[in-house]
Amino acid sequence: MLAAIIFVATSGCTWNQLPPGFGLSGVTAFRRFTVWTEARVWAKLHR
């Protein structure tokens, strides 16, 4: 999951272009990204 989110963030592809090798859909990855963003996971990782 984290690898898929990092891939989208660094590659410039859209969520829907996420390669199937990650084992999850772009919709699922985006949903998790949104939940983690609302939970301030990214801010906590930067500490």
Domain spans, the chain: 1-46
pLDDT surpassing 90 at residue 46: no
pLDDT surpassing 90 at residue 11: yes
Query: pLDDT band for position 26 (50/70/90)?
Result: very high
pLDDT surpassing 90 at residue 23: yes
Q: What is the mean pLDDT of the chain?
A: 96
User: Model's pTM, two decimal places?
Assistant: 0.86
Let me know: does 27 contact 21? Beta carbons within 8 Å.
Answer: no
Helices (H), the chain: 2-11, 26-38, 41-45
- Percent residues over pLDDT 90 in the chain: 94
